[in-house]
Amino acid sequence: MEPTPASTVVLVRQAQDDLEILLLLRNTKLAFNGGHWVFPGGKIDREDYPDGDCRQEYRAAINAVVRETREEAGIDINATDLVHVAHWTTPDGYSRRYSTWFFICPVCDPGEIVVDDEEILDYRWMTPRMALHASTAGELKLPEPTFQTLRDIADYRTLEELSRALRDVRIRVFPRQSPFYRSETIPGA
């Protein structure tokens, strides 16, 4: 089964002396990751592809994550602020497979978070370390890619530190046999 293209974004804001990320609680009735805390994101729709060109998946991933963030959290983000940091593909053998582009986006004033109470039931701003601790303690469920992404950014305390690190980021792709595997950043992305 071919994986469905998708994208997600880690929204990061500066709190008093640390970074906070936005996590959304998916409805337990949903077949995929129901009851899990996730970053905003979702499936890439046909209209996300520029000019309907399915070869432009990277651009479609950006369009999709901007759209999904608005739909799931009521936040408008700027596509030029997105930094591509990883690409995860669900391994063979799962009934639902996704090929997901992971982005990070700093937000200064995201405004009020608005969830739809259907797909998304709740939200939390918390530090990456708090989320990791809560997950390890069994207090909130995180999908593995979300957990690993939080581990990647847990040591940064300011947007400036994180932004500096993101300038030199190497795109991480999981699993390595994915057709999207690369060990360097995407030129011009």
What are the per-10-residue average pLDDT scores of the chain (189 residues)? Answer: 94 95 95 92 94 84 97 95 91 88 92 91 97 97 93 93 83 58 37
Render pLDDT for 27-67 as a digit per residue (tens, 0 to 9). Answer: 999 988 889 999 999 999 999 998 877 778 999 999 999 99
Which residues have CB under 8 Å from 142's CB, separation 6+?
23, 36, 37, 38, 131, 135, 150
Per-residue confidence (pLDDT) for residue 181, from 0 to 100: 41
Q: 90 with 63: CB under 8 angstroms?
A: no
Q: pTM value?
A: 0.88
Q: How many CB atoms are closer than 10 A to CB 11? A: 23
Residue 124 to residues 54, 96, 100, 147, 167, Cα–Cα distance (Å):
34, 27, 22, 15, 27
| Cα separation, 124 vs 71, whole angstroms | 17
Domains of the chain, first to last: 4-174 (3.90.79.10)
